[in-house]
Amino acid sequence: MPDTQTTSPNFVGEQRRRLALGLGAALALSALAGCKPETFGVSELTGETSSASGSPAAAVPDFAELTVPASRYRSLDFDWQDASRQRAVPARLYVPAEPAAAGGLPLLLFSHGLGGSRRGYSYLGAYLASQGLASLHVQHVGSDRGLWTGNIFSLVGRLQDAAKESEALNRVADVRFALDQLLASEQGAAIDLQRIAAAGHSYGANTTMLLAGARVQRQGQVLPLLEPRIKAAILISAPPFYGENDLAPILQDIRIPTLHITATQDVIQVPGYYSAAEDRIKVFEAMGGTSKALAVFEGGSHSIFTDRAGTGGVSLNPKVKVATRELALAFLQQQMGVPALTPAPDALQQWRERYGRLLQRWEAPARAV
């Protein structure tokens, strides 16, 4: 989409919104080796963390093996081509090992962070599949692992291209196209069209917010980015919309249930860019609707939520991953009734009782949907 110059009084604001369409991508460069060193959490050093509430927390349970047995799920790779954009859209689908009944399989659409791929966040996709859901991990070729290949001296330029408005919009189109392709495929017959959610980490969280209804304007017109088939959203380490001082006008139109996951050391710092951990909280506070939840883990790092081992603390890392994947499931159970058809109103409270000692802050939804 080419930029169009205008002399409208709204030009400056619209230009800022175009910058905002970068969606914090430049701030999602934490995969670079030059990022801020990982900071170890209090729990790692002392074995204790503060409870998110003033009441005593339940003991942290013994953590299961992070790797999900291969017998409990299947993964299928797709190499789709969007002819209308002349763009490849690779994807990996995680599904339960046992075939699902027609129209009975809930679906999570996942968007990776900058420099990722369809193979990433497998700890989440494999786990959800083992619990009776499908998880479609979409790869965005303009901001995927290909950024790390090629001449090292042109890396900065590749990263800047990945943060442009055109790529931000293409990422949204990637997810929508992948959903259409999946539903038209043989596997699509098993998907429950009323129980589709979206999730993403970092740049992927911003992509998810656009799909969920974030309001972004160009030339005085709201961009038609909302994907109405998405009924809930999970936002992991979501950077704010940079270029905008007030996030509320952008996020207040998101009315579907949202789950925000972050950590006290969820900091993004690279040369020229910085996003404090508090920025994730600002996104949560500006989000529209009352059915929103927030989980802030003590310690950690921005990349602790990826498949990388050790980042954010050698012992803390797998604990946060296990807690995160179970939190995602509890949220979907409470909001959408997955994998069963009936919502589980106490799923998040049960999760809080189990993992409260890992948290610095917890806010449950004001009401269930």
pTM: 0.84
Contact at 8 Å (CB) between 198 and 111?
yes
> In the predicted model, is pLDDT for residue 295 greater than 50?
yes
- Mean pLDDT for 332-338 is 90
CB 126 within 8 A of CB 133: no
Query: What domains appear along the chain, each with residue ranges and CATH number?
Result: 11-363 (3.40.50.1820)
Q: What pLDDT is attached to residue 1?
A: 35
pLDDT value of position 241: 77
CA distance 28 to 256: 25
pLDDT in tens, 303-314: 999 999 999 999
Phi, psi torsion values for 285, nearest 5 degrees = -65, -30
pLDDT tens, residue by residue, 219-249:
888 888 999 999 999 999 999 876 667 899 9
Q: What is the average pLDDT value for the chain, to the nearest integer?
A: 83
pLDDT at position 191: 96
SS3 39: coil
CB-based burial, 248-257: b 16+ in 10 Å, e otherwise: eebbebbebb
pLDDT cut 70: percent of the chain above it: 80
Give me the mean pLDDT over the 121-128 stretch: 98
For residue range 148-202, list pLDDT tens digits in order. Answer: 998 888 888 888 888 888 999 999 999 999 999 999 999 999 999 999 999 999 9
Q: What amino acid is encoded at 98 in this protein?
A: E
